[in-house]
Structure 1
Amino acid sequence: MDAGAEARSYLLRNDAHDIDGVLLGRPHPPVLGVIIGVTPGETTPETEYDKAVRAVAQGAQTLTDVTTDGDPTLRRRVLESLNVSYGTVPTYEVFRRIRRDGWAARDAVLTVLEEQADEGVDFFTVHASGTPETARALGASDRVIPVTSRGGAMMVEVMDGPGGENPYLGCFDEVLELCRASGAALSLAGTFRPGSIADAMDAAHLAEIEVQAELVRRAQEKGVKVSVELVNHVPVHLIPAYCELGREKLHGAPFGALGPSPTDIAITYDHVAGAIGATTAALHGTSWVTCVTAGEHCRIPDAEDIVTAVKYFQIALHIAEVGRTGDLSRDAKLSRARNDNDWTAMAELAVHPADAQAMVERQGYHHGEACTMCRGTCPLVRGKAIRARQR
């Protein structure tokens, strides 16, 4: 039995967005998400839209747009054309309006959220749980990476100095009303999420989780869909502990993982490390998982990076689902097909059937034929011969 409040779930969809949406919450299988977004000078709306199309075709269930230049082109095109739950990180535009254009913090927050809610954005990833007290304590902390969140660093900059406050907190009731009216969900980002596994479970992040829990309570009282970004850079043995915290403290709200990354040294193989972390997180109650790509922390991923990451994470979530439910049926069917050297059935039952079928065709395998690993010494072929003689 999970500790804490009864698990809650909801349909991740803005009332104004004509999509199927996806159910989010522990009673349902974990949702798989992908990050896209324009970084000026490095990528374009056209390039990022292609990534979005390919990610959705591969099976991604959510897209989070991290565009930082304020250009709505990508957002509007995805909302108009793809059947996928779509979210943004309003903090980037809120920060631009406060710092570049001189807007009052309250006006920036509410205007940006209202504009995007009216367009049909399904969920907002907001940095509402970082407090000035935690921000000021960073200078004396022994964190390896003081702030790893891009939006979190923006909020720390706004909060830094006399009288600095979190722009979201002063108008959080209005934010909740806006979300309730539109059907958009809130995803509470980790301003002080760990950026190194050495920082996991430190005072800054634990303090923020307490704030997130209070914001969840307020959101639920207003009838607002809400989840929490919880598991990030965390050693594998602490992933279950983070999930236990989520079950105990977050009032049944879904909580999710960015990856998570269980090691910091997998540069160029972060998608492999992230998939390992995702298996553990999903097994212990994480409701959504966002892919990390091979070049995470080093470069903007291309479309192939994203497709590969989605494939790895789909395998990870299947492994976790087997562990969660004990349902071995699909794996057993494939194993029976393998025992029969039935290559067509094996391809059909694989996590990625097209890839498996391409391999079969490339190798030229036929039903009953052993693979090149064993050929004449294939134990499956020999085993069938032994059983035939014993009958």
Structure 2
Amino acid sequence: MEYNTQMDAARKGIVTKQMEIVARKEKMDVNRLQQLVAAGKVVIPANKNHKSLDPEGVGNGLRTKINVNIGVSKDCYNLDLELEKAKRAIELKAEAIMDLSCYGKTQEFRRRLIAMAPVMIGTVPMYDAVGMLDKELKDITVDEFFSVVERHAEDGVDFMTIHSGINRATAEKVKNNRRLTNIVSRGGSLLFAWMELNNRENPFFEYYDRLLDICERYDVTISLGDACRPGSIHDATDAAQIEELIVLGELTKRAWARNVQVMIEGPGHMAINEIAANMLLEKRLCHGAPFYVLGPIVTDVAPGYDHITSAIGGAIAAASGADFLCYVTPAEHLRLPDLEDMKEGIIASRIAAHAADIAKGIPGARDWDNAMSAARAEVNFPRMIELAIDPEKAGRYREQSQPECEDTCTMCGKMCPMKNMKKILNGEDLTIK
């Protein structure tokens, strides 16, 4: 039996190769996974033209996944460095990479990335439109916008962020309910500007069925972008954000009617006490579709440390229902991240995702922690380092400060509680001088 998308297959009772792989990774019954994909509660982004893909699932009952952003800008145009970042992100076990390049002719880079990457690849075609078409924003036509989307789909992009929810009505909410930070979404601000300059409706809202045609043809998952996500804790959960979320819920149902897979993007900057309620709102208004959050960053005053502010918010968000975390690096709000920034962002996001998986009761999540605890109880430092989320850093710290006794560390030395409890419980003598 033929099918167009993973959702189409699931609704026809077909278990695809991608579903089998994801079910095995997630320790989930494949028929249960098929039901979740059919209901839209799990997506398997898998463009038909992404031949190197090792598929992952995102959504209800699955491990929390993380995404890493790369891409060139006019000020930092080094394609080889961005490919190096992509390879490093894959080594560090990110499940997705988004190419956010916003300058130059990026198709060659995008194709090289898709050809080498076994992870999900996402893009924001709006970023590419100005550079690819070599035109001023206000002069880009509706047909030209869709030509960029189609090119990304042809190249093999698995999921695309499309800001279809910022229509004229949502834009009025932004204008009539002024924010401290206005619209901080790059793609959303470009579409807002295009609508204002041309006095026209958002083409990705007005011609949404045309977008669905492309996504259905290539099995591209739509990541419905949150143009009105808060860029400061002051702006969180305001009228514009909620108005757009309601629209995204309506667009989700229209996509599902065409068997097109959907994720919903979310905040943003947000105080800790608002996060759980926002996760509930998204799941309710968007009918249980997987939720992809950008942070949330829980305080605005920590530039240089926003991988930490984001990991705090990401852990709470994922434990409260979010399914996919976009990493944030220490360079957020300051500059394009370098390789070390990227690593710190990935590790912070992976910690947040794993902490949430423990809270959500994801099968096998606690096994890793229990193995680490057992190694600590045995004072087995090689095993601890092997199990660490960042073995390189753990090993380096151990090497930099050697203790007198090999089975201790330089914090406690002979007073190590793990070592001493082990000895006492084994009936051995104890000397700590």
TM-score (norm 1): 0.93
Instruction: State the partner residue of 1:13.
Output: 46
- 1:70 is displaced (CA, Å) by 4.2
1:166-190 Cα deviation digits (max 9, x unpaired): 0212221011011011011110111
Tell whether 2:106 aligns with 1:68: no
1:40 is aligned to: 74
CA shift, 1:211, in A, is 0.6
Partner residue, 1:356: 394
What is the distance in 2 between the residues matched to 1:362 and 1:297? 33
1:283 to 313, 319, 334: 319
- Structure 1 window deviating more from structure 2 (177-186 vs 364-373): it is 364-373
Q: 1:7 to 1:243 in 2, by over 3 A?
A: farther
SS in 2 for 1:190: coil
Matches within 5 A, 1:240-279: 240-279=276-315
Please, which runs of 5 or more residues in structure 2 have no aligned partner? 1-37
Q: 1:325 to 1:190 in 2, by over 3 A?
A: same
* Alignment of structure 1 residues 151-162 onto 2, 5 Å: 151-160=187-196
Displacement after TM superposition at 1:102 (Å): 7.4
Compute the TM-score of the two structures, normalised by the length of structure 2: 0.84
Deviation at 1:196, TM superposition (A): 0.4
Report how far residue 49 of structure 1 moved. 1.3
Matched, 1:292 2:325: no
Cα 1:206–1:111 change in 2 (3 A) is same
Match of 1:207 in 2: 243
Q: Is the 8 A contact 1:13 1:122 kept in 2?
A: yes
Amino acid at match of 1:289: L
Q: For residues 99 and 126 of structure 1, what CA distance do their matches in structure 2 show?
A: 20
Q: Show CA shifts across 1:241-271 (max 9, x none).
A: 1110121111221111112211111110000
Greater displacement, 198-207 / 78-87: 78-87
**Residue of structure 2 equivalent to 1:135:** 171
Q: Distance in 1 between matches of 2:397 and 2:60?
A: 36
**Which letter maps to 1:374?**
C
SS at match of 2:102: coil
- What one-letter code is carried by the residue in structure 1 that aligns with 2:372? L
CA deviation map 1:340-391 (0-9, x unaligned): 2111221122222333233334445699621110112222222223223389
1:102 to 1:294, Cα distance in 2 relative to 1, 3 A = closer
Residue 209 of structure 2 corresponds to residue 173 of structure 1: yes
Tell me, in whole angstroms, the C-alpha distance in 2 between the residues paired with 1:92 and 1:354.
35
Structure 2 partner of 1:388: 426
Unaligned segments of structure 1, at least 5 residues: none
CA contact 2:295–2:325 (8 Å) conserved in 1: yes
Deviating more after overlay: 133-142 vs 104-113: 133-142
Equivalent residue in structure 2 for 1:22, among 56, 60, 71: 56
Matched to 2:227, the amino acid is T
Asked if 2 retains the 8 angstrom alpha-carbon contact of 1:341 and 1:368, the reply is no
Report percent identity of matched pairs: 33
How far apart in 2 are the matches of 1:240 and 1:291?
A: 19
Q: Is residue 366 of structure 2 the alignment partner of residue 332 of structure 1?
A: no
Q: Does 1:237 align with 2:270?
A: no
Evaluate the alpha carbon distance shift between residue 104 and residue 162 of structure 1 in structure 2; reply closer, same or farther with a 3 A threshold: closer
* Distance in 1 (alpha carbons) for counterparts of 2:407 and 2:140: 71
Deviation for aligned residue 1:209: 0.3
CA spacing shift, 1:217–1:372, aligned 2, 3 Å: same
Equivalent residues, number:
387
| Structure 1 residue identity aligned to 2:292 | G
Alpha carbons of structure 1 residues 182 and 190: separation in structure 2 relative to 1, 3 Å:
same
Aligned residue number for residue 230 of structure 2? 194
